[in-house]
Structure 1
Amino acid sequence: MFLLGVNYWPRLHNIKMWKEWNEGDLAKDLDQMRELGIRAVRFFILAEDFFDPYGGVYEGSLAKLKRFMDMLGERGIRGFPTLIVGHMSGRNWKIPWAPDGDVYRPEAVERGVRAVSEVVKALRGHKALGGWILSNELSLVKRAESREEALALLRAYSSAIKSLDPHAPFTSGDVSSSYLQEPPNVKGLVDFVGVHLYPYDSNAVRHAYLYPAYIELFSLDGEVPVLLEEFGFSTYQFSEEAHALFINDVLWSALAHEALGAFIWCFSDFGQEADPPYEWRLLELGFGLVRADGSVKPAGEVVRAFAKDLERLEALGLGERYRRPRAEAAVVVPFYMYRDYEFVSQSLKAEVGIRPALQALSLAFMAGLRASAVYELDRERLRKKLLIFPSVATALATTWRAAYEGGGVVYASVFRAFGRAWALHDAATHLWRELFGVENATTPGSYGVEYSGIFRMKFVEDFGPIKAGEELELALDSPVYTYVVRPKDARVLAVDHRNRPVLLAAKRAVLSTIPIELLLSTMSHVDWLRGYHRIYAALAQMAGIEIPLYTPDPRIEVATFEGPEGRLVIAINHSYERLEAPLLGEKISSAEKIAGSGEVEPPVLRLGPKEAVAFLAK
């Protein structure tokens, strides 16, 4: 069951929920949630309202907590208690056992475990309990000094909670950039990763694709379940109408990428504008699905409609009889993202980070290609038909060897320096000739070749759907420095304005000396209709990966689910424009619409701004 949920503070009491306990007001909120189709609620145990400095729990607060869980159970709503709440909505509130905010000190961990354990003992086995969320963005109270310090804390709480309640799932609740959210390092300590996403972007389509890309990034090829634990915007930042379209897009994206669920921030607006922190964080007054007076916003109506669509899709068997096929293509996440290595440039992590991986996943989705993310050190998961190394400055020597010997197609785009990310004293690979069939011809001691301004990649040979003579244009906001290569056993697919090779193909490998993904992730203006995603369609074709259904318009994502009665298809318009596009790929004889506000009349999809449609294709 997809967990359609909200993050919750009461509409009339906000963060003062426990201090101003009013069961009647809470009941009205919960009844309205149920009427909107909400299935799950993440709520917050404000530390100063529950715990003393020694890790003891106030009995009165515990009684309120139990009653609130009963109220959820009476309405069939699952509750996800957030156990340690210091940071909330732009303010750090007091944590009694860590008054200085250092929650990582051994004595603070000991007292915190004692406090949390009392709550777990009180609520374990409750029919409304959905799972345990350790914190609300603990790293914003204090970021751990090291990965080891963070994982020691997580290990202590995980061990204590799981020993008391081995059945309910557990997660950290931290910000997405935290050590506590690194999938390769926290698997085994948490049962799922709860992602918090509030990205901003100059390009609306790129922004929309970030949400499914993050879900795939954190799932590590389906190994780690992912919950979109927080997402949203304030209608004091953007219009209510645009906010509703945005919510619809993200909900359908989470469903299409098999997330456990999606929890919107948050249930309601608040009217108490003089209360801290709302007085100075006034955007926090307006994140709700309902207004401060209780009336439903357009986003609330979107949630109501989505809840009904969910029922229809789950009755059909979505998630059970109909599942996404296993990914035969994978985007490789660099080794330095989740482990520290001596003398590896920190600018690669800080300035480049996961942006190329997210953009690579987005390009794959645009092409209709089912792609996952794998961590570079997870050698077994590198055995794919297609491995994508997007915009890499370096990779482990053993990774390149494993890719060379793996039998699949390897694609890599490389660079030497971009913006504040400099990797001049690194090498992208040591298998230039063996893997890619080229010779590195970069002048010793130089930065490499510089590209800036308008750059055009001209194809001199057909490459999948891209025909010889076509050009792909990139408008670079900053110069990029990269390698010069000479083909030896590779053929040239595309050249630059001076006829230098920039895209080459060997027998089982493709090399781009242009870091396409990094550039596309940073360009202020991108026209996706230029067809950058077709490079990924060509790679899939080269690797022998079938793309069953797709559209030529990269603003529309098409996700397919395999089932006993054909394919269940979810198509999502990630733009704010009304779109019409043909469905390409397999021939469809019939399409039965199941859910969504878009329309399908084979072979044509018609989708309004941010609309989606789900249909059975036969």
Structure 2
Amino acid sequence: MKFGVNYTPRVGWFHHWVDYDPSEVARDFDTIKELGADHVRVFPLWPVFQPNPTYVSPVALRRLEETIAIAAERGLGVAVDGLQGHLSSFDFLPSWLLTWHRRNMFTDAFAMEATHRYLRDLAKACAGHDNVFALTIGNEVNQFTGAVHPEPHPATPRDITLWLDTMLSALREGAPGKDVLHSCYDASWYDDAQPFTLEHVARWGDITAVHAWVFNGTAQRFGPDSFETRAHARYMVEVARAFQVDPERPIWLQEIGAPRNVLPEASVEPFIRETVAQAAGAGLSGITWWCSHDVARGLGDYPELEYDLGLIDESGRIKREGRIVAEAVAEAASAPVDRGAAALELDLAGDGGRAALAPGGSFWSDYMTTARRFGHPRITLVGDRVGLGGLAHA
């Protein structure tokens, strides 16, 4: 099981692509290696890398390749995300999708062609680097389709099928043989209005990515020290596995963290240890913690929780939380996989749709009751919704 961190540069955060300093990246990666991590997930900022629909910055691509090379020198693997997209409450869309040039990023043919061009060129820059092990279309781009977004880009499941097929093909064209995937935040699990469906999550690309955050109502509803809060990541993994065509398809816990807005300090260590142990028992391909470094207090206008999510502080020192995460992952990696003897059937249509999966929903409640008594159950999907929504396996 891989163990890594989502790389948040200590100096300049993701704006470091503009004021790039390879010595700072090297120093960050030295500390990440000291933490015991074996990989980093890096985030090119889309407007910096593709400021114009027909222009992908060669300077930015060279900086990405230099970052990958610095990681290789330290024995670190690299996963690269393309579309940023959305990070830590900020949106990063290029100007050619905004205001006077407003286009729907998921349905406009010109926008899709331009995005395909960028992802293909980004993948080409990564293709020759052996330590690049995965390419993700982008970070939680499904948040742009939801009504919660102030300026949404609406789409249907059919639209998203075409969009995902187009973007995954761009990554495969640019970097043949690399694993390619996409990531969603948990609305795709819990909200029937989301056009990124559970079938998309679990069947498109080569790996299933899970982003498991307990500030989604889980910790608020059940409490920071509850079984449900510490079992949430494992639950999401099991739901994702139920929708996979291949039960052995790799599942990557690509984002997990200990947010202080719902976890008091005394709850952080037991949350980390129990969450990691339970999730790893599902047989994950890897765990990538959010995030490597705290956001510097000198950078303004972030939600308060963002300033303290790192495993390394803004001065470059590994925090106690970092040591705890590293210990928890090391212990979990040597423990046997525990798939559980119990089983639950999931009939999404009969149970009331994705709301039944959400914290407090009917299936959620059945699952947690079973897991508490008998261990995490295997979920068997009753029927197959693919086809009903015009989807096809890709």
Cα drift, residue 333 of structure 1: 4.0
Matching residue of 1:243: 268
Matching residue of 1:121: 124
Matching residue of 1:141: 144
**Does the 8 A contact of 1:120 with 1:161 survive in 2?**
yes
Distance 1:137 1:373 in 2: 25
Matching residue of 1:218: 240
Distance verdict in 2 for CA 1:268–1:280, change over 3 Å: closer
Asked whether 1:152 is paired with 2:162, we answer yes
**Does the 8 A contact of 2:339 with 2:377 survive in 1?**
no
Asked whether 1:9 is paired with 2:8, we answer yes
Matching residue of 2:41: 42
Distance 2:231 2:13 in 1: 32
For structure 2, the residue ranges without an aligned partner over 5 or more in a row are 147-153, 189-193, 386-394
Cα drift, residue 71 of structure 1: 1.1
SS in 1 for 2:43: strand
Distance 1:336 1:153 in 2: 29
Distance verdict in 2 for CA 1:198–1:165, change over 3 Å: same
Distance verdict in 2 for CA 1:360–1:101, change over 3 Å: farther
Matching residue of 1:189: 204
SS in 2 for 1:131: strand
Matching residue of 1:349: 353
Distance 1:248 1:55 in 2: 47
Matching residue of 1:102: 104
Matching residue of 1:331: 345
SS in 2 for 1:330: strand
For structure 1, the residue ranges without an aligned partner over 5 or more in a row are 338-347, 380-618
Residue 183 of structure 2, aligned match among 173, 185, 210 = 173
Distance 1:45 1:288 in 2: 19
**Does the 8 A contact of 2:295 with 2:314 survive in 1?**
yes
Give the structure-2-normalised TM-score. Answer: 0.82
Cα drift, residue 369 of structure 1: 4.6
Cα drift, residue 32 of structure 1: 0.9
Distance verdict in 2 for CA 1:13–1:210, change over 3 Å: same
Counterpart residue identity of residue 127, structure 1? D
Cα drift, residue 15 of structure 1: 2.1
Distance verdict in 2 for CA 1:212–1:173, change over 3 Å: same
**Does the 8 A contact of 1:3 with 1:262 survive in 2?**
yes
**Does the 8 A contact of 1:47 with 1:96 survive in 2?**
no
Distance 2:367 2:176 in 1: 35
Cα drift, residue 371 of structure 1: 2.2
SS in 2 for 1:103: coil
Asked whether 1:255 is paired with 2:280, we answer yes
Counterpart residue identity of residue 168, structure 2? S
- The structure that is strand-richer by fraction is 1
Deviates more, 1:224-233 or 1:78-87: 224-233
Distance verdict in 2 for CA 1:37–1:65, change over 3 Å: same
**Does the 8 A contact of 2:345 with 2:382 survive in 1?**
no
- The structure that is helix-richer by fraction is 2
**Does the 8 A contact of 1:335 with 1:376 survive in 2?**
no
Matching residue of 1:130: 133
SS in 1 for 2:331: helix
Cα drift, residue 46 of structure 1: 0.5
Matching residue of 2:316: 294
Asked whether 1:363 is paired with 2:369, we answer yes
Distance 2:346 2:263 in 1: 35
**Does the 8 A contact of 2:201 with 2:209 survive in 1?**
no
Distance 2:80 2:204 in 1: 18
Matching residue of 2:390: none
Matched residues, percent identical? 20
Distance 1:224 1:182 in 2: 18
Distance 2:14 2:279 in 1: 28
Matching residue of 1:531: none
Counterpart residue identity of residue 248, structure 1? R
Distance 2:124 2:196 in 1: 25
SS in 2 for 1:42: strand
**Does the 8 A contact of 2:156 with 2:195 survive in 1?**
no
Distance verdict in 2 for CA 1:101–1:39, change over 3 Å: farther
Matching residue of 1:77: 76
Counterpart residue identity of residue 343, structure 2? A
Matching residue of 1:232: 257
Cα drift, residue 127 of structure 1: 1.6
The equivalences for 1:310-459 within 5 A come to: 313=334, 323-324=337-338, 329-335=343-349, 348-349=352-353, 351-354=355-358, 355-369=361-375, 371-378=377-384
Distance 2:34 2:265 in 1: 20
Cα drift, residue 264 of structure 1: 1.4
The equivalences for 1:56-71 within 5 A come to: 56-71=55-70
RMSD of aligned Cα (Å): 2.6
Matching residue of 1:398: none
Cα drift, residue 223 of structure 1: 4.8
Cα drift, residue 65 of structure 1: 0.3
Distance verdict in 2 for CA 1:190–1:93, change over 3 Å: same
Cα drift, residue 141 of structure 1: 2.9
Matching residue of 1:92: 91
SS in 2 for 1:127: coil
Counterpart residue identity of residue 229, structure 1? Q
SS in 2 for 1:102: coil
Distance 1:79 1:180 in 2: 29
- Aligned length, in residue pairs: 357
Cα drift, residue 93 of structure 1: 2.0
Distance verdict in 2 for CA 1:233–1:326, change over 3 Å: closer
SS in 1 for 2:184: coil
Cα drift, residue 206 of structure 1: 1.7
Matching residue of 2:392: none
Distance verdict in 2 for CA 1:72–1:217, change over 3 Å: same
Residue 209 of structure 1, aligned match among 212, 219, 231 = 231
Distance 2:328 2:356 in 1: 36
SS in 2 for 1:21: coil
Matching residue of 1:30: 29
Cα drift, residue 209 of structure 1: 1.8
Distance 1:368 1:328 in 2: 7
The equivalences for 1:553-564 within 5 A come to: none
SS in 1 for 2:137: strand
